[in-house]
Structure 1
Amino acid sequence: MSKRINRTSGFSLSAAWRALKYRNYKLFFGGQIISLTGTWTQQIAMSWLVYRLTNSAFMLGLISFASQIPSLILSPFAGIIVDKLNRHKILITTQSLAMLQAFLLVFLLITSTVEVWHLIVLNLFLGIVNGFDTPARQAFVVEMIENKEDLGNAIALNSMMFNAARLFGPSVAGILLAETSETICFLINGISFFAVIAALLAMKIDYSKVIKTQKNVLEGLKEGFKYTFSFTPTKYLILLVALVSLTGMPYVVLMPVFAKNILHGGPNTLGFLMGSIGAGALLGALLLASKKSVLGLGRIVLYTTFSFGVTLIAFSFSRSLILSMFFLILTGMSMIIRGASSNTIIQTIIDDDKRGRVMSFYTMAFMGMMPFGSLLFGILASKFGAPTTLVFGGISCILGSLLFALKLPKLRKAIRPIYSKLGILPELAEGLQTTTNLRVPPQN
């Protein structure tokens, strides 16, 4: 019988760090937080460089589109590869290639040969790398966590790690952009990859436990699609993620416009805005990490999707830096709790041998929709202005949350037997011990 997960569904700060007791995860956590800080430093420098060179909101959207569109195209096939090959080695390869991209940017700026088309090509290259890196990283978390009852905590800590970097990285970028240049930001990012690569190489991996599928590409793709979208919880959670990624998440690409044209600031203002998003996201991740159980996460997804839309609209009307930062803190908090809660539910209920493929569809929804959203936001902002564009995005997220509310009872009914089998609902677990493996999604 599976080990029972904490029966309570409340919060405890003492439980917020429990996944760090696993050596491999601790290494991963430390290496990633350094690398991700560099990544956010580069992302802010990239947006500022593009806007400085072109003064175009459309180009901001196009650059973001180039970096994210490969995830939509490649993720389903990447998921098959992630399920077939060693996820640890995939991550070492993808992190090394991302480091190469950062150093190429440094070379172009040092030699004063950088042009916008270079940035588009290099962001496209990075998007291809991330198309494989993201599902591999999502699936690899499970291999580092020996006890499934700590999986939700590990995912929440991943979000905390990501957003601690989101908080610190933009602040560093703002200072560096004001005092030096984009070159230093890209150089810092390139150097930061040594930390995560070293951490991956230092891990002790039992490769005999790695599950590898033997199916061909088309058969594996068909099986993964059917498994993912024939089960109500994974289907509706992924569809909601796709909607928010298309109409809400691209708000980040318009931050340079708000910093320069709406709030009449410079690189420091952009750093403050992005740092506020990171601060809110970090608080949200800490709150989620302190949650003792996955129970109630569906309701949390609903509430935070709604609040994400509301705070986006509120931010769009602000013309004060302090007020804008306040609304972005709330936006960041809603954003990360919604995303990490969806991820945790999905990771808890799926089978290990299909995890790469399911998470590739999740990546498709999360990262694959954002390029279209970025392009859409760039076009809308050019025609109607950045504030109006964010109002549109906020209303779309609110409507999505209301539709999800209608499906929530159906989700609960479908997930309940799985949680019972895992011991998350202990009162029913004993009666289900002799049933077939209910972790396999039933056919709807």
Structure 2
Amino acid sequence: MYNKSFKMFVLIWVGQFVSVIGTSLTSFALGFWVLTETGSVTQFSMIILSLVLPTVIVSPFAGVIIDRFSRKKLMILSNCVAAFSTLIILLLVLTNSLEIWHIYVTTAFASAFNTFLMPAYQSVISLLVPNKQLGRANGMIQVGESASIIIAPTVAGFLLHSNGLQAVIFVDLLAFTVALTTLIFAKIPELPVKQTTKLNTKQFFADAREGWNYLMRQPAFKWLLIFFAIINLLLGFVNVLLQPLIISLSSEQTLGMVLSVTGFGMLLGGILISAWGGPKNRINGIFLSCGFAGLLIALAGFTTSIVFITACFFLFLFFIPIVNSCSQALWQSKVEPTIQGRVFTIRRMLGVSLYPLAIIIAGPLVDQVFNPMMESNGVLAGSIGQMIGVGEGRGIGLLFIIIGLLFMVVTAAIYLQPKVRNMEKEIPDALVERKHGDGSSAS
């Protein structure tokens, strides 16, 4: 039974892996197009906002739909909408009509439906994969995401140079075709759908609250939500400022090399967790990895050596798949399958809720506060500047040190909460009954 179920997961994973690569190609190409057309980092950052904000807005309601309808059909619908949005961009490119606001609108539209895709995908995994193999399955997903970081810049750059933006989008549409084909042929167990109450407006909001109440009844879940919201806020600063840090110390060519090398760190971490399956104690895996990740961010801020910074972020990204795989496997094993859609969407919403704040304030914070303080005649030049240097990149370096320290402090503070530290023992597995089969039908 497990072999067949895991093979079915692998079939779905292959399709989504190809789709992630295709989407990453288009995202990179469109971001490059915006930067070359406008030269504005602000305009570029608005693409990230158009990705994040729909998730925050739609998530509380998406979970109700995921738990009431076929998760397979919702995954197919989400992929179709994303493909349709990409097709619109292609038509605009072919007619020389593409404008920046088109990218914002289509990105936001696709992102709203992607809010259904990922929680549905994650809950499908818990229906197909045995508890002990959840870490391995989630590690495979991390491999796909990390591979896209490595592949997208190189392949998209080649296609842009040789055949233009339309070539990248054609490849993305082919990737969507692969993903849709695997989903259509996949047999995914479906949970019994609520038929006792009609889904009117009142019931819709009642169902949405049920997901929230489920989380609030468990202090450990609440602490984990707080933890990842803060961690993702700090990661937002790192994601926005890493490229400007590298460019301030070297060149655009060096930046490409650094991103590729560090991306291999994430790929290596994903491969490791896929083969290993992760630590038996997933909570320890999450918090130990986060502690090391924070230390590496702080160390990167102390130096202007590109080699040392690259090594730090290679190791930093190595730990990210371990954190994500352990976390996802933990939620999948502890949350009742019938409510996973609502719980996972709320979790995703809260996880990214502070991310836009980092995108908005990172640039002004560096330009107006940290860079001036770390100039040769700045306020901190005679103190901290004696340790980490002054001038180009040192403002971002100081901010990275602070972010890394905060990373470690928050990690230690949350881990010291007994409810979090002991949650794997205190909260029973919700998926234990699947060891004997659940008789679910396939769609």
CA distance in 1, matches of 2:205, 2:108: 25
Q: CA deviation at 1:360?
A: 0.6
Q: 1:63 to 1:351 in 2, by over 3 A?
A: same
- Native 8 Å contact 1:66 1:123 kept in 2: yes
In structure 1, the residue matched to 2:170 is 187
Quick check: 1:86–1:210 contact (8 Å CA) kept in 2? no
More displaced, 341-350 or 157-166? 157-166
Unpaired runs of 5+ residues, structure 1, are 4-17, 424-444
Q: Which amino acid aligns with 2:58?
A: L
Question: Following superposition of structure 1 onto structure 2, how do residues 292-441 of structure 1 map, counting pairs within 5 Å?
Answer: 295-316=280-301, 319=304, 321-383=306-368, 384=370, 387=396, 390-407=400-417, 409-419=418-428
Which letter maps to 2:86?
A: A
AA aligned opposite 1:275: S
Counterpart pick for 2:227 among 223, 240, 244 = 240
Moved more, 313-322 or 368-377: 313-322
Q: CA deviation at 1:74?
A: 0.8
Are the structure 2 counterparts of residues 210 and 231 from structure 1 closer, same or farther at C-alpha, using a change threshold of 3 Å?
A: same
Does structure 2 conserve the Cα–Cα contact (< 8 Å) formed by 1:61 and 1:377?
A: no
| Aligned counterpart in structure 2 of residue 164 of structure 1, from 147, 172, 179 | 147
How big is the alpha-carbon RMSD for the aligned residues of Structure 1 and Structure 2? 3.0
Distance 2:297 2:123 in 1: 31
Identity across the alignment (%): 23
- Calculate the TM-score normalised by the size of structure 1: 0.81
The 2-side partners of 1:108 and 1:324 are apart by 40
Tell me whether 1:123 sits opposite 2:99 in the alignment. no
Which letter maps to 2:205?
L
Q: 1:257 to 1:412 in 2, by over 3 A?
A: closer
Q: What amino acid sits opposite 1:186 in the alignment? A: I
Cα distance change of structure 1 residues 327 and 185 upon mapping to structure 2, 3 Å threshold: farther
Secondary structure of 1:248's aligned partner: helix
Aligned residue among 38, 63, 66 for 2:47: 63
Shift of 1:87: 0.6
How many residues align? The count is 403
Deviation at 1:86, TM superposition (A): 0.6
* Separation in 2, partners of 1:354, 1:335: 27
Kept in 2, the 8 Å contact 1:75–1:361? The answer is yes
- Paired residue for 1:284? 269
Give the structure 2 partner of residue 87 of structure 1. 71
* In 1: Cα distance, 2:262 partner to 2:210 partner: 38
Aligned match of 1:9: none
Aligned-partner Cα distance in 2 for 1:274–1:53: 23
Q: Which of residues 206, 220, 230 is equivalent to 2:217?
A: 230
Q: Which moved more, 1:257-266 or 1:129-138?
A: 257-266
Q: Map Cα deviations across residues 84-121 of structure 1 (whole Å, 9 max, x no partner).
A: 11110001011111112222223333333322222222
* CA distances 1:44-64 after superposition (whole Å, capped 9, x unpaired): 223222222232332232220
Q: State the Cα distance separating 1:254 from its structure 2 match.
A: 4.2
Aligned partner of 2:84 in structure 1 is 100
Superimposed CA distance per residue, residues 140-181 of structure 1 (whole angstroms, 9 cap, x where no aligned partner) = 222332x33322322222222222233222332243345554
Counterpart for residue 14 of structure 1 = none
CA distance in structure 1 between the partners assigned to 2:34 and 2:153 by the alignment: 16
Superposition TM-score, scaled by structure 2 size: 0.81
Query: How far is 1:270 from its partner?
Result: 4.8
Q: Is the 8 A contact 1:276 1:332 kept in 2?
A: no
Report the CA distance shift for 1:297/1:274 in structure 2 as closer, same or farther (over 3 A).
same
Give the structure 1 partner of residue 388 of structure 2.
none
C-alpha change, 1:85 and 1:137, in structure 2 (3 Å) is: same
Query: Displacement of 1:318 after TM fit?
Result: 5.5
1:32/1:196 contact within 8 Å kept: yes
Unaligned 5+ segments in structure 2 are: 372-392, 433-443
Q: Which deviates more from structure 2 when the two are superposed, residues 330-339 or residues 91-100?
A: 330-339
Local SS of the residue matching 1:295: coil
